[in-house]
Amino acid sequence: MVIDNSNKHMIQVEVAYALSSEQDQVILNVEVPEGANIGHAILQSRINERFPEIEMQTVKVGIFGKLSELDTIISSGDRVEIYRPLLEEPRDIRKKRAEMSKNMRNR
């Protein structure tokens, strides 16, 4: 997809992708034309070239932690976030922790 930047006011946004290690994330500053959407910002950032596991057809995205669609229009200063798939359901993690806690108390 080629984005026509001619005759358009440009805006600054961030594209963020959290890596699997707890503290590591990549944040890229991107200039896109006013009226661009989340998908445009991701493509403009070229982050999917650096992280080929990001599949544009299935990726979950958001703006400042609010789940959004790729065609959501972005505004200047927005932080576009690319979410990794969950490795385990939060409900299952809580259940395991509760079991471990129960086992520790019974010892």
Number of domains observed in the structure of the chain: 1
For the segment 26-52, what is each residue's pLDDT rounded down to a tens digit?
999 999 999 999 999 999 999 999 999
Instruction: Give the residue numbers spanning the domain of 93.
Output: 10-105
Q: For residue 86, what pLDDT band results from cuts at 50, 70 and 90?
A: low
CATH code of the domain in which 46 resides: 3.10.20.30
Whether 47 maps to a domain, the answer reads: yes
The reported pLDDT for the residue numbered 4 is 57
Residue 75's closest CA among 27, 47, 33? 33
Q: Which residues contact 78 (CB under 8 A, 6 or more apart)?
A: 13, 14, 63, 64
The reported pLDDT for the residue numbered 101 is 77
- More confident of the two residues 102 and 71: 71
The token pair that represents 21 in the structure block: 């290690």
Whether 60 maps to a domain, the answer reads: yes
First to last CA, the chain: 61
Phi-psi region of 25 (alpha: psi -120 to 50; beta: other; left: phi over 0): beta
Q: Is pLDDT of 5 > 60?
A: no
The reported pLDDT for the residue numbered 46 is 96
For the segment 49-68, what is each residue's pLDDT rounded down to a tens digit?
999 989 999 999 999 999 99
Whether 31 maps to a domain, the answer reads: yes
Phi-psi region of 50 (alpha: psi -120 to 50; beta: other; left: phi over 0): alpha
The reported pLDDT for the residue numbered 74 is 98
State the chain's mean pLDDT as an integer.
86
Whether 98 maps to a domain, the answer reads: yes
Whether 1 maps to a domain, the answer reads: no
Whether 55 maps to a domain, the answer reads: yes
Whether 2 maps to a domain, the answer reads: no
The reported pLDDT for the residue numbered 44 is 96
